[in-house]
A and B are shown apart, each in its own frame.
Chain A
Amino acid sequence: MNGSGEIALRLRGLRKVYHAAEGPVVAVDGVDLEVASGEIVAFLGPNGAGKTTTLDICLGLVAPTGGSVEVFGGTPRDAVRAGQVSAVLQSGGLLRDLTVGETVRVIAALHGVPERVGLAMERAGVTELARRKVQACSGGEQQRLRFALALLPDPPLLVLDEPTAGMDVGARRAFWEAMHAETRDGRTVVFATHYLEEAQAFAPRTVLLDRGRILADGPTAQLRGLVGDRTVVATLPDAGARVAQLLALPGVRDVLREGERVTVTGTASDEVARVLLTQLGGHDLEIAAPTLESAFLALTSERGGAA
């Protein structure tokens, strides 16, 4: 958190219930959150966690069923009108038969900033696509166009809803490099993702969402420790006799055995690897970083597995 103390985004007891044919669906179930000016925050969660609905409410696209939302102390709609917040939307949002240049000029005109067309296109890397029809652009190019549109009002708060969904690795890296450049001047960024790596690489703070609730909220590095179970897998002669020995190592949570293959779960992956290779004669060793799934498993099981 920076020292300015200004609150960019404040959510209190936020709830959203959709009425579907099969009954009410609770998309957001009591979310409390404050984001200070200048922070970069990741909303991390699986599909259906309530990320998009929460962001839609912050943008004034969806009205909450209960609770309150403030963007720079006002309503989301006021913040949108004042150019204080803009967003890269997950999908849609573009007219297929307009050119890239026309799209940027229309949105710039509606914001009353026609002079920023060139700058926004350059920063998002779509200048050379100006004459191309939107329908002829790749998914990554369309996402860069949406990014250009989001940069037009020069917003102090930028919201990104799974901005790299559907991009290949190269396009994803290029996108986050462009984003880094945009945050140097103190822009607040809130983004939704279901990639743990994106949260780790880009957001000092991560909010874990699941089924419309906040499971954890803190520095991303701490979160990693919190859910930091790595798995060490190795082939081990006489594995059955070694399970107890492995379980006794500090930081080991669980050991699974299938024939000669053992899977050790825990935080002390270095120590486990050393013991396996040097003392027990293990080979074909693999270490895997925690996945979002394992993170959620760890968090929900700590809560007593109520879900």
Chain B
Amino acid sequence: MNWTFLRIDLVRNLRDVANVAFVIGLPVVMYVIFGGAFGAGDDVVGRGNTRFSIMCAMAAYAGSVATTAVAGTAAVEMLQGWGRQLALTPLRPRGFVATKVVVALSVALGGVGAVLVAGLVTGAKADPPWVWWVTFAVAWLASAVFALYGLAIAQIFRSESAVSIASASLVLLAFFGNLFVPLSGSVLEVGRWTPMYGYAGLVRYPLMQGELVRTGPGAAPTPDPLWALVLNFAAWALVFATISVWAVRRGRRRQ
């Protein structure tokens, strides 16, 4: 890891005001709207209340948007030929990917942290207190997988609009990942195979322990065992990492 490379790249990302507002501001606004829209925000859910559950979802969204956006800009850099310039230095492809993951995690720290602070001041509750800390750690650190997602998707589309494509498709993944509205039935069964489901389930695990919210009369959906969430997360991480390393190698060639 090269610290100068890391520092200058981080400063570059934070200089982009529009990007920072979109990544850190939007999830907080969504939490405030969703968290206040349901009158029953104080209902008991798992180890906490409904507001905490919505906070978990928006923290997961903030983390994944942050890392996707940072990685998407990395793909645009490749299109500008920066990958060829880097290939003329001792930096290896995995060093480049690792640096981008750290930059993405730093921005995600801001996004996840902002949502949790918003939850803290608006009455999100969980007990015992470690639920807060574990939720924070999982939402923040596990968002790294979406840095790989952003890099992979953007490299496949290979244009300056790649970042928008990656961010927009993230909204769809968030829906199937059970982040926006509680899913049930066949939509839930499909969702269980999509990339954000494992990450979202893990963020909520300290609160829900795999239980799912009942969406109507009848039995609640089958709970998610921890191993299934971990497997979903790990499998998609592997897929995105493989595509990313391949894409960085391809980025060295002349455009």
Q: Do A and B bind each other?
A: yes
Interface positions of A (Cβ within 8 A of B): 52, 56, 59-62, 80-81, 83, 86-87, 89, 91-98, 102, 105-112, 114, 149
Known: A92-B255, A97-B12. A109 touches B88 (CB 8 A): no
Chain A residues with CB under 8 Å of B5's CB are 106, 109-110
Chain B residues with CB under 8 Å of A60's CB are 87
Q: CA–CA, A96 to B85, complex, Å?
A: 13
CB-CB nearest 7 A-B residue pairs? A92-B81, A109-B4, A110-B89, A93-B85, A93-B81, A81-B90, A110-B91
Q: CA–CA, A112 to B86, complex, Å?
A: 13
**B252 contacts chain A at the CB level, 8 A cutoff:** yes
Q: CA–CA, A105 to B9, complex, Å?
A: 12
| Contact status B88-A59, CB under 8 Å | yes
Chain A residues with CB under 8 Å of B255's CB are 92
Output the least CB separation between A118 and chain B (Å).
Answer: 15
Known: A61-B252, A94-B80. A80 touches B12 (CB 8 A): no
Give the nearest-CB partner of A150 in chain B.
B88
| Contact status A52-B254, CB under 8 Å | yes
| Contact status A110-B8, CB under 8 Å | no
| Contact status A149-B15, CB under 8 Å | no
Chain B residues with CB under 8 Å of A108's CB are 4
Give the nearest-CB partner of A62 in chain B.
B253
Q: Which of B4, B82, B85, B253 has the most CB of A within 10 A?
A: B85
| Contact status B80-A98, CB under 8 Å | no
Chain A residues with CB under 8 Å of B8's CB are 98, 102, 105-106
Give the nearest-CB partner of B79 in chain A.
A92
Known: A93-B82, A105-B4, A105-B8. A110 touches B90 (CB 8 A): yes
| Contact status B2-A89, CB under 8 Å | no
| Contact status A98-B12, CB under 8 Å | yes
**B84 contacts chain A at the CB level, 8 A cutoff:** yes
Interface magnitude class on chain B: 20 to 34
List residues of B (210-255) whose CB comes within 8 Å of A's CBs: 252-255
Output the least CB separation between A109 and chain B (Å).
Answer: 3
| Apart from A105-B8, A109-B3, A149-B88, 20 more pairs, CB < 8 Å | A59-B87, A62-B253, A62-B254, A80-B89, A89-B85, A91-B81, A92-B80, A93-B80, A93-B81, A93-B82, A93-B85, A95-B12, A95-B80, A97-B12, A98-B8, A106-B8, A110-B86, A111-B89, A112-B90, A114-B4
**B189 contacts chain A at the CB level, 8 A cutoff:** no
Chain B residues with CB under 8 Å of A87's CB are 88
Chain A residues with CB under 8 Å of B9's CB are 106
| Contact status B82-A95, CB under 8 Å | yes
Output the least CB separation between B209 and chain A (Å).
Answer: 45
List residues of B (74-120) whose CB comes within 8 Å of A's CBs: 77, 80-82, 84-91
Output the least CB separation between B96 and chain A (Å).
Answer: 10
Output the least CB separation between B108 and chain A (Å).
Answer: 21
Chain A residues with CB under 8 Å of B82's CB are 92-95
Give the nearest-CB partner of A109 in chain B.
B4
Known: A94-B80, A95-B80. A107 touches B253 (CB 8 A): no
Chain A residues with CB under 8 Å of B90's CB are 80-81, 83, 110-112
Q: CA–CA, A61 to B89, complex, Å?
A: 11
Output the least CB separation between A194 and chain B (Å).
Answer: 17
Q: CA–CA, A52 to B85, complex, Å?
A: 15
Chain B residues with CB under 8 Å of A81's CB are 90
16 contacts between A and B (CB under 8 A): A56-B253, A59-B88, A61-B84, A61-B253, A80-B90, A87-B88, A91-B81, A92-B255, A93-B82, A95-B77, A96-B80, A105-B8, A109-B3, A109-B4, A110-B89, A114-B4
Q: CA–CA, A240 to B88, complex, Å?
A: 61
| Contact status B84-A93, CB under 8 Å | yes
Q: Which of A81, A86, A93, A114 has the most CB of B within 10 A?
A: A93
Chain B residues with CB under 8 Å of A56's CB are 253-254
Chain A residues with CB under 8 Å of B81's CB are 89, 91-94
Output the least CB separation between A262 and chain B (Å).
Answer: 45
Partner of B15, one of A83, A91, A97, A107: A97
Q: CA–CA, A112 to B88, complex, Å?
A: 13
